[in-house]
Amino acid sequence: MVWANLAPIGPRWDMPTADPSVASALLADFDASPSPYHAVATMKALLDAAGFALAHPGSGPVGRWYHVDGGALVAWVVGTDHHGASPLRLVGAHTDSPNLRIKPQPDRSGAGAARQLGVEVYGGVLLNSWLDRDLGLAGRVVIEGVDGPEEYLMRDDRALLRIPQLAIHLDGDIRQHGLNLNPQRHLSPVWGLGEGPTFAAYLAEQVGVEADSILAYDIMAYDLTPAALNGLGDEFLCTARIDNLLSCFLAVRALVEVADAPGAAIPMISLFDHEEVGSVSTTGAASPLVRQQIELVQAGLGATVVDAAVSRAASLVLSADGAHATHPNYADRHEPEHQVSLNGGPVLKINANQRYATDARSAGVFVRACRTADVPFQRFVNRTDLACGSTIGPATAAELGMAVVDAGCPQYAMHSARETAGSHDPAWFQIVLEQILRG
Protein backbone atom coordinates (compact mmCIF):
# COMPACT_ATOMS: atom_id res chain seq x y z
CA MET A 1 0.00 0.00 0.00
CA VAL A 2 1.52 3.34 -1.04
CA TRP A 3 0.13 5.79 1.48
CA ALA A 4 2.60 8.45 0.38
CA ASN A 5 0.60 9.03 -2.80
CA LEU A 6 -2.51 9.91 -0.84
CA ALA A 7 -1.83 13.62 -0.48
CA PRO A 8 -4.37 15.41 1.71
CA ILE A 9 -7.04 17.17 -0.32
CA GLY A 10 -8.41 20.43 1.06
CA PRO A 11 -11.49 22.34 -0.06
CA ARG A 12 -11.26 22.99 -3.79
CA TRP A 13 -12.54 26.33 -4.95
CA ASP A 14 -12.56 26.99 -8.64
CA MET A 15 -14.82 30.00 -8.27
CA PRO A 16 -14.19 33.40 -6.71
CA THR A 17 -15.33 33.51 -3.10
CA ALA A 18 -17.10 36.07 -0.97
CA ASP A 19 -17.30 36.41 2.79
CA PRO A 20 -19.18 33.38 4.25
CA SER A 21 -19.35 35.10 7.67
CA VAL A 22 -22.26 37.17 6.28
CA ALA A 23 -24.22 33.93 5.78
CA SER A 24 -23.30 32.53 9.21
CA ALA A 25 -24.39 35.78 10.86
CA LEU A 26 -27.86 35.22 9.35
CA LEU A 27 -28.40 31.78 10.92
CA ALA A 28 -29.73 33.17 14.21
CA ASP A 29 -32.08 35.53 12.36
CA PHE A 30 -33.63 32.63 10.43
CA ASP A 31 -34.12 30.65 13.65
CA ALA A 32 -35.70 33.69 15.33
CA SER A 33 -38.24 34.12 12.51
CA PRO A 34 -40.62 31.14 12.18
CA SER A 35 -43.55 33.34 11.01
CA PRO A 36 -43.80 36.65 9.08
CA TYR A 37 -44.70 38.40 12.36
CA HIS A 38 -41.59 37.03 14.05
CA ALA A 39 -39.50 38.03 11.01
CA VAL A 40 -40.75 41.60 11.33
CA ALA A 41 -39.86 41.56 15.06
CA THR A 42 -36.36 40.25 14.23
CA MET A 43 -35.79 42.99 11.66
CA LYS A 44 -37.31 45.70 13.84
CA ALA A 45 -34.75 44.78 16.53
CA LEU A 46 -31.91 45.11 13.97
CA LEU A 47 -33.22 48.53 12.92
CA ASP A 48 -33.71 49.69 16.54
CA ALA A 49 -30.09 48.76 17.27
CA ALA A 50 -29.01 50.90 14.29
CA GLY A 51 -30.85 53.99 15.53
CA PHE A 52 -34.06 53.66 13.47
CA ALA A 53 -37.35 54.68 15.10
CA LEU A 54 -41.04 54.00 14.55
CA ALA A 55 -42.48 56.70 12.27
CA HIS A 56 -45.59 58.53 13.46
CA PRO A 57 -47.61 61.36 11.93
CA GLY A 58 -45.41 64.43 11.93
CA SER A 59 -42.12 62.60 12.55
CA GLY A 60 -39.18 63.34 10.29
CA PRO A 61 -38.72 63.87 7.49
CA VAL A 62 -34.94 63.72 8.20
CA GLY A 63 -33.80 60.60 10.06
CA ARG A 64 -34.00 56.79 10.10
CA TRP A 65 -37.55 55.49 10.21
CA TYR A 66 -39.68 52.38 9.91
CA HIS A 67 -43.37 51.53 9.68
CA VAL A 68 -44.68 48.13 10.79
CA ASP A 69 -48.00 46.51 9.89
CA GLY A 70 -48.48 42.84 10.89
CA GLY A 71 -46.13 40.79 8.69
CA ALA A 72 -44.93 43.82 6.69
CA LEU A 73 -42.21 46.39 7.34
CA VAL A 74 -41.14 49.53 5.46
CA ALA A 75 -37.94 51.39 6.48
CA TRP A 76 -36.14 54.39 5.01
CA VAL A 77 -33.51 57.05 5.58
CA VAL A 78 -33.92 60.72 4.75
CA GLY A 79 -30.74 62.81 4.79
CA THR A 80 -30.39 66.58 5.12
CA ASP A 81 -29.64 66.88 1.37
CA HIS A 82 -32.84 65.14 0.27
CA HIS A 83 -35.71 67.20 -1.14
CA GLY A 84 -39.18 66.73 -2.55
CA ALA A 85 -38.00 65.66 -6.01
CA SER A 86 -35.26 63.27 -4.75
CA PRO A 87 -35.61 59.89 -6.47
CA LEU A 88 -36.13 56.71 -4.48
CA ARG A 89 -34.01 53.58 -4.42
CA LEU A 90 -36.25 50.87 -3.04
CA VAL A 91 -35.40 47.24 -2.25
CA GLY A 92 -38.55 45.10 -1.97
CA ALA A 93 -38.91 41.52 -0.73
CA HIS A 94 -41.44 39.34 1.11
CA THR A 95 -41.61 37.99 4.66
CA ASP A 96 -43.93 35.02 4.06
CA SER A 97 -42.99 31.48 3.02
CA PRO A 98 -45.17 28.52 1.98
CA ASN A 99 -46.18 26.47 5.02
CA LEU A 100 -49.00 24.69 6.87
CA ARG A 101 -51.43 26.83 8.90
CA ILE A 102 -53.76 25.69 11.67
CA LYS A 103 -57.47 25.74 10.80
CA PRO A 104 -59.89 27.75 13.01
CA GLN A 105 -61.52 24.59 14.48
CA PRO A 106 -58.62 22.18 14.11
CA ASP A 107 -59.29 19.36 16.61
CA ARG A 108 -59.81 16.05 14.84
CA SER A 109 -58.92 12.37 14.80
CA GLY A 110 -58.70 10.18 11.70
CA ALA A 111 -58.56 6.88 13.61
CA GLY A 112 -57.96 5.33 17.03
CA ALA A 113 -56.57 7.49 19.81
CA ALA A 114 -54.56 9.82 17.57
CA ARG A 115 -55.19 13.49 18.32
CA GLN A 116 -54.66 15.55 15.17
CA LEU A 117 -54.88 19.13 13.93
CA GLY A 118 -56.48 20.26 10.70
CA VAL A 119 -54.14 22.37 8.56
CA GLU A 120 -54.53 24.59 5.50
CA VAL A 121 -51.82 24.73 2.87
CA TYR A 122 -50.44 28.30 2.56
CA GLY A 123 -48.91 28.99 -0.87
CA GLY A 124 -47.14 26.53 -3.17
CA VAL A 125 -45.82 24.03 -0.61
CA LEU A 126 -43.59 21.08 -1.58
CA LEU A 127 -45.84 18.87 0.54
CA ASN A 128 -43.48 15.88 0.82
CA SER A 129 -40.85 18.05 2.54
CA TRP A 130 -43.10 18.44 5.62
CA LEU A 131 -43.31 14.68 6.31
CA ASP A 132 -41.48 13.05 9.23
CA ARG A 133 -40.13 16.32 10.61
CA ASP A 134 -40.26 17.74 14.13
CA LEU A 135 -42.57 20.74 13.88
CA GLY A 136 -43.16 23.62 16.29
CA LEU A 137 -45.95 26.22 16.26
CA ALA A 138 -45.65 30.00 15.85
CA GLY A 139 -47.73 33.01 14.84
CA ARG A 140 -49.94 35.64 16.38
CA VAL A 141 -52.96 35.44 18.67
CA VAL A 142 -55.64 38.12 19.11
CA ILE A 143 -57.23 38.15 22.59
CA GLU A 144 -59.93 40.15 24.35
CA GLY A 145 -58.07 42.92 26.19
CA VAL A 146 -59.26 45.51 28.67
CA ASP A 147 -59.63 48.22 25.99
CA GLY A 148 -60.35 45.98 22.98
CA PRO A 149 -58.48 43.31 21.02
CA GLU A 150 -54.78 42.81 21.84
CA GLU A 151 -52.23 41.01 19.67
CA TYR A 152 -49.54 38.60 20.93
CA LEU A 153 -46.67 36.83 19.23
CA MET A 154 -46.78 33.12 20.04
CA ARG A 155 -44.03 30.54 19.60
CA ASP A 156 -43.63 27.03 20.96
CA ASP A 157 -40.27 25.43 20.16
CA ARG A 158 -41.17 21.97 21.40
CA ALA A 159 -41.43 19.14 18.87
CA LEU A 160 -45.23 19.19 19.03
CA LEU A 161 -46.39 18.09 15.61
CA ARG A 162 -45.42 15.29 13.25
CA ILE A 163 -46.86 14.24 9.87
CA PRO A 164 -45.83 10.59 9.54
CA GLN A 165 -45.50 9.26 6.00
CA LEU A 166 -47.41 6.08 5.10
CA ALA A 167 -45.13 3.00 5.32
CA ILE A 168 -43.89 1.79 1.93
CA HIS A 169 -45.55 -1.61 2.56
CA LEU A 170 -48.97 0.08 2.74
CA ASP A 171 -48.51 2.30 -0.32
CA GLY A 172 -48.90 0.05 -3.35
CA ASP A 173 -48.62 2.99 -5.76
CA ILE A 174 -45.46 4.64 -4.53
CA ARG A 175 -42.96 2.53 -6.52
CA GLN A 176 -44.77 3.07 -9.81
CA HIS A 177 -46.29 6.52 -9.46
CA GLY A 178 -44.26 8.15 -6.69
CA LEU A 179 -45.69 9.79 -3.60
CA ASN A 180 -49.16 11.20 -4.09
CA LEU A 181 -50.38 13.45 -1.26
CA ASN A 182 -53.93 14.75 -0.92
CA PRO A 183 -53.72 17.98 1.11
CA GLN A 184 -57.03 17.38 2.91
CA ARG A 185 -56.52 13.71 3.74
CA HIS A 186 -52.79 13.18 4.18
CA LEU A 187 -51.33 16.24 5.93
CA SER A 188 -53.00 16.38 9.36
CA PRO A 189 -50.22 16.29 11.95
CA VAL A 190 -50.53 14.07 15.03
CA TRP A 191 -49.83 15.86 18.29
CA GLY A 192 -50.98 13.43 20.96
CA LEU A 193 -52.76 10.20 21.88
CA GLY A 194 -55.91 9.71 23.95
CA GLU A 195 -57.48 12.47 26.03
CA GLY A 196 -55.81 15.85 25.83
CA PRO A 197 -56.49 19.58 25.65
CA THR A 198 -58.24 21.09 22.66
CA PHE A 199 -56.14 23.39 20.50
CA ALA A 200 -57.98 26.40 21.96
CA ALA A 201 -57.15 25.26 25.51
CA TYR A 202 -53.51 24.66 24.56
CA LEU A 203 -53.27 28.13 22.99
CA ALA A 204 -54.90 29.80 26.00
CA GLU A 205 -52.32 28.20 28.26
CA GLN A 206 -49.49 29.34 25.99
CA VAL A 207 -50.70 32.94 26.02
CA GLY A 208 -51.71 32.82 29.71
CA VAL A 209 -55.42 33.66 29.31
CA GLU A 210 -58.78 31.86 29.59
CA ALA A 211 -59.78 29.93 26.45
CA ASP A 212 -62.77 32.16 25.77
CA SER A 213 -60.52 35.26 25.75
CA ILE A 214 -58.97 34.09 22.48
CA LEU A 215 -60.73 35.85 19.60
CA ALA A 216 -58.68 34.57 16.65
CA TYR A 217 -55.20 33.46 15.55
CA ASP A 218 -52.80 33.12 12.63
CA ILE A 219 -50.74 30.09 13.73
CA MET A 220 -48.45 28.02 11.51
CA ALA A 221 -46.24 24.95 11.79
CA TYR A 222 -42.50 25.26 11.26
CA ASP A 223 -39.51 22.94 11.00
CA LEU A 224 -37.44 22.92 14.20
CA THR A 225 -34.11 22.01 12.53
CA PRO A 226 -31.79 24.98 13.14
CA ALA A 227 -30.31 26.91 10.21
CA ALA A 228 -26.78 25.73 9.37
CA LEU A 229 -23.88 25.92 6.95
CA ASN A 230 -23.52 22.51 5.26
CA GLY A 231 -21.18 20.79 2.82
CA LEU A 232 -17.54 19.74 3.02
CA GLY A 233 -16.35 23.34 2.79
CA ASP A 234 -19.46 24.98 4.31
CA GLU A 235 -20.53 25.87 0.77
CA PHE A 236 -24.25 25.70 1.54
CA LEU A 237 -26.67 27.68 3.67
CA CYS A 238 -29.51 25.31 4.67
CA THR A 239 -32.63 26.46 6.46
CA ALA A 240 -36.36 26.94 6.15
CA ARG A 241 -37.66 30.19 4.60
CA ILE A 242 -34.62 31.11 2.47
CA ASP A 243 -37.38 32.22 0.07
CA ASN A 244 -37.59 34.99 1.01
CA LEU A 245 -36.20 35.89 4.42
CA LEU A 246 -32.68 35.75 2.96
CA SER A 247 -33.54 38.80 0.81
CA CYS A 248 -35.32 40.52 3.74
CA PHE A 249 -32.39 40.15 6.13
CA LEU A 250 -29.89 41.33 3.49
CA ALA A 251 -32.12 44.32 2.61
CA VAL A 252 -32.19 45.39 6.28
CA ARG A 253 -28.41 45.00 6.59
CA ALA A 254 -27.82 46.93 3.37
CA LEU A 255 -30.07 49.79 4.51
CA VAL A 256 -28.25 49.98 7.86
CA GLU A 257 -24.91 50.11 5.98
CA VAL A 258 -25.95 53.02 3.75
CA ALA A 259 -27.79 54.94 6.51
CA ASP A 260 -24.68 56.89 7.56
CA ALA A 261 -24.07 58.30 4.11
CA PRO A 262 -27.09 57.98 1.80
CA GLY A 263 -26.61 59.13 -1.81
CA ALA A 264 -28.74 61.49 -3.89
CA ALA A 265 -31.65 59.03 -3.76
CA ILE A 266 -33.75 58.23 -0.67
CA PRO A 267 -32.94 54.62 0.33
CA MET A 268 -35.99 52.56 1.32
CA ILE A 269 -36.86 48.89 1.87
CA SER A 270 -40.36 47.38 1.74
CA LEU A 271 -40.86 43.85 3.03
CA PHE A 272 -44.36 42.65 2.23
CA ASP A 273 -46.49 39.78 3.46
CA HIS A 274 -48.65 37.45 1.29
CA GLU A 275 -46.43 37.21 -1.83
CA GLU A 276 -46.82 33.44 -1.84
CA VAL A 277 -50.59 33.78 -2.17
CA GLY A 278 -50.69 36.57 -4.77
CA SER A 279 -49.80 39.82 -2.90
CA VAL A 280 -53.42 41.04 -2.81
CA SER A 281 -53.97 42.01 0.86
CA THR A 282 -53.55 45.07 3.08
CA THR A 283 -49.91 44.14 3.71
CA GLY A 284 -49.09 42.64 0.29
CA ALA A 285 -47.22 44.27 -2.59
CA ALA A 286 -50.50 45.08 -4.38
CA SER A 287 -51.60 47.20 -1.39
CA PRO A 288 -51.09 50.98 -0.96
CA LEU A 289 -48.74 50.24 1.99
CA VAL A 290 -45.46 51.44 0.48
CA ARG A 291 -47.00 54.11 -1.79
CA GLN A 292 -48.57 55.68 1.29
CA GLN A 293 -45.22 55.79 3.11
CA ILE A 294 -43.55 57.33 0.05
CA GLU A 295 -46.28 59.99 -0.12
CA LEU A 296 -45.86 60.76 3.60
CA VAL A 297 -42.08 61.12 3.19
CA GLN A 298 -42.54 63.37 0.17
CA ALA A 299 -45.19 65.45 1.96
CA GLY A 300 -42.72 65.89 4.83
CA LEU A 301 -40.19 67.20 2.30
CA GLY A 302 -42.74 69.65 0.89
CA ALA A 303 -43.01 67.88 -2.48
CA THR A 304 -45.43 69.22 -5.09
CA VAL A 305 -47.27 66.95 -7.54
CA VAL A 306 -44.60 67.85 -10.10
CA ASP A 307 -41.80 66.97 -7.63
CA ALA A 308 -43.41 63.58 -7.00
CA ALA A 309 -43.62 62.89 -10.75
CA VAL A 310 -39.97 63.92 -11.25
CA SER A 311 -38.97 61.65 -8.35
CA ARG A 312 -40.96 58.69 -9.69
CA ALA A 313 -39.45 58.93 -13.18
CA ALA A 314 -35.92 58.72 -11.76
CA SER A 315 -36.64 56.05 -9.11
CA LEU A 316 -35.76 52.35 -9.18
CA VAL A 317 -37.04 49.29 -7.32
CA LEU A 318 -34.98 46.14 -6.86
CA SER A 319 -37.38 43.26 -6.23
CA ALA A 320 -35.22 40.83 -4.24
CA ASP A 321 -36.28 37.18 -4.22
CA GLY A 322 -34.78 33.71 -4.58
CA ALA A 323 -33.64 32.42 -7.99
CA HIS A 324 -33.46 28.81 -9.18
CA ALA A 325 -29.91 27.42 -9.27
CA THR A 326 -29.46 24.68 -11.88
CA HIS A 327 -30.25 21.44 -10.03
CA PRO A 328 -27.52 18.86 -10.77
CA ASN A 329 -30.04 15.98 -10.77
CA TYR A 330 -32.50 17.80 -13.01
CA ALA A 331 -30.31 19.90 -15.32
CA ASP A 332 -32.85 19.31 -18.13
CA ARG A 333 -35.47 21.37 -16.25
CA HIS A 334 -33.32 24.45 -16.73
CA GLU A 335 -32.55 26.64 -19.73
CA PRO A 336 -29.28 25.13 -21.08
CA GLU A 337 -27.70 28.48 -22.06
CA HIS A 338 -28.48 30.09 -18.71
CA GLN A 339 -27.08 27.73 -16.11
CA VAL A 340 -27.01 29.22 -12.61
CA SER A 341 -24.56 28.07 -9.89
CA LEU A 342 -24.77 28.37 -6.14
CA ASN A 343 -21.96 30.71 -5.06
CA GLY A 344 -21.76 32.05 -8.60
CA GLY A 345 -23.11 35.45 -7.53
CA PRO A 346 -26.52 37.16 -7.48
CA VAL A 347 -28.94 36.33 -10.28
CA LEU A 348 -30.67 38.82 -12.59
CA LYS A 349 -34.11 37.36 -13.39
CA ILE A 350 -35.67 38.00 -16.79
CA ASN A 351 -39.02 36.94 -18.23
CA ALA A 352 -40.38 38.34 -21.50
CA ASN A 353 -43.95 37.87 -20.21
CA GLN A 354 -43.26 40.13 -17.20
CA ARG A 355 -43.58 37.44 -14.53
CA TYR A 356 -40.37 39.20 -13.47
CA ALA A 357 -40.55 42.99 -13.84
CA THR A 358 -37.02 43.37 -15.26
CA ASP A 359 -36.59 45.25 -18.54
CA ALA A 360 -33.43 46.27 -20.37
CA ARG A 361 -33.36 49.68 -18.68
CA SER A 362 -33.67 48.36 -15.11
CA ALA A 363 -31.38 45.41 -15.88
CA GLY A 364 -28.75 47.89 -17.04
CA VAL A 365 -28.75 49.57 -13.61
CA PHE A 366 -28.30 46.17 -11.91
CA VAL A 367 -25.45 45.11 -14.21
CA ARG A 368 -23.69 48.44 -13.66
CA ALA A 369 -24.11 48.09 -9.87
CA CYS A 370 -22.50 44.61 -9.98
CA ARG A 371 -19.64 45.87 -12.15
CA THR A 372 -19.02 48.91 -9.95
CA ALA A 373 -18.97 46.70 -6.82
CA ASP A 374 -16.85 44.05 -8.60
CA VAL A 375 -19.42 41.34 -7.84
CA PRO A 376 -19.96 38.41 -10.24
CA PHE A 377 -23.56 37.94 -11.37
CA GLN A 378 -25.62 35.45 -13.39
CA ARG A 379 -28.68 35.69 -15.62
CA PHE A 380 -31.75 33.47 -15.30
CA VAL A 381 -34.52 32.78 -17.79
CA ASN A 382 -36.93 29.87 -17.55
CA ARG A 383 -37.09 27.06 -20.11
CA THR A 384 -39.51 28.31 -22.74
CA ASP A 385 -41.76 25.26 -22.28
CA LEU A 386 -42.13 25.68 -18.48
CA ALA A 387 -44.33 28.18 -16.64
CA CYS A 388 -42.34 30.87 -14.81
CA GLY A 389 -42.77 31.79 -11.12
CA SER A 390 -43.21 35.39 -10.06
CA THR A 391 -42.26 37.88 -7.33
CA ILE A 392 -43.44 41.16 -5.82
CA GLY A 393 -41.80 42.85 -8.84
CA PRO A 394 -44.79 43.09 -11.24
CA ALA A 395 -47.25 44.13 -8.48
CA THR A 396 -44.81 46.79 -7.20
CA ALA A 397 -44.20 48.11 -10.73
CA ALA A 398 -47.96 48.43 -11.30
CA GLU A 399 -48.59 50.00 -7.87
CA LEU A 400 -45.73 52.55 -7.93
CA GLY A 401 -45.15 53.20 -11.63
CA MET A 402 -41.39 52.92 -11.09
CA ALA A 403 -38.78 50.89 -12.99
CA VAL A 404 -38.27 47.47 -11.34
CA VAL A 405 -35.47 44.92 -11.64
CA ASP A 406 -35.87 41.38 -10.30
CA ALA A 407 -32.79 39.75 -8.77
CA GLY A 408 -31.81 37.46 -5.91
CA CYS A 409 -29.58 34.74 -4.51
CA PRO A 410 -29.62 31.35 -6.26
CA GLN A 411 -31.06 28.38 -4.35
CA TYR A 412 -32.16 24.76 -4.64
CA ALA A 413 -35.49 23.31 -3.47
CA MET A 414 -37.52 26.53 -3.50
CA HIS A 415 -40.68 26.07 -1.36
CA SER A 416 -39.33 23.02 0.48
CA ALA A 417 -39.68 23.01 4.27
CA ARG A 418 -35.87 23.26 4.21
CA GLU A 419 -34.14 25.02 1.31
CA THR A 420 -30.50 25.26 0.22
CA ALA A 421 -28.59 28.36 -0.92
CA GLY A 422 -24.87 29.10 -1.34
CA SER A 423 -23.00 30.48 1.67
CA HIS A 424 -21.03 33.03 -0.39
CA ASP A 425 -23.82 34.60 -2.44
CA PRO A 426 -25.42 36.51 0.50
CA ALA A 427 -22.32 38.68 1.01
CA TRP A 428 -22.22 39.53 -2.69
CA PHE A 429 -25.93 40.26 -2.86
CA GLN A 430 -25.72 42.56 0.16
CA ILE A 431 -22.94 44.55 -1.54
CA VAL A 432 -25.12 44.94 -4.66
CA LEU A 433 -28.14 45.99 -2.58
CA GLU A 434 -26.00 48.64 -0.88
CA GLN A 435 -24.85 49.85 -4.30
CA ILE A 436 -28.47 50.08 -5.48
CA LEU A 437 -29.67 51.85 -2.31
CA ARG A 438 -26.88 54.43 -2.58
CA GLY A 439 -28.37 55.49 -5.94
- Minimum CB separation of residue 93 from Zn ion in Å reads 8
The strand ranges marked E within 286-435 are: 316-320, 323-324, 347-349, 378-380, 403-408, 410-412, 419-422
Cβ proximity to Zn ion: between 321 and 406 the closer is: 321
Cβ proximity to Zn ion: between 311 and 420 the closer is: 420
- Minimum CB separation of residue 174 from Zn ion in Å reads 30
- Minimum CB separation of residue 192 from Zn ion in Å reads 34
- Minimum CB separation of residue 221 from Zn ion in Å reads 19
* Residues 263/438, Cβ–Cβ less than 8 Å: yes
- Minimum CB separation of residue 366 from Zn ion in Å reads 18
Q: In 3-state terms, what secondary structure has residue 135?
A: strand
CA angle 278, 280, 284 (to 5 degrees): 95
Cβ proximity to Zn ion: between 235 and 243 the closer is: 243
- Minimum CB separation of residue 400 from Zn ion in Å reads 19
Give DSSP secondary structure letters for 177-208.
H-----TTTS-PPEEEESS---HHHHHHHHHT
Positions that interact with Zn ion (CB under 5 A): 243-244, 321
Cβ proximity to Zn ion: between 244 and 281 the closer is: 244
Distance CA 91, CA 187 (A): 36
Cβ proximity to Zn ion: between 244 and 378 the closer is: 244
Cβ proximity to Zn ion: between 207 and 404 the closer is: 404
- Measuring CA to CA, which residue among 268, 408, 433 is closest to residue 350? 408
Cβ proximity to Zn ion: between 20 and 98 the closer is: 98
How far is the CA of 240 from the CAs of 8, 129, 224, 226, in angstroms?
34, 11, 9, 9
- Minimum CB separation of residue 220 from Zn ion in Å reads 16
How far is the CA of 94 from the CAs of 25, 161, 243, 321, in angstroms?
20, 26, 8, 8
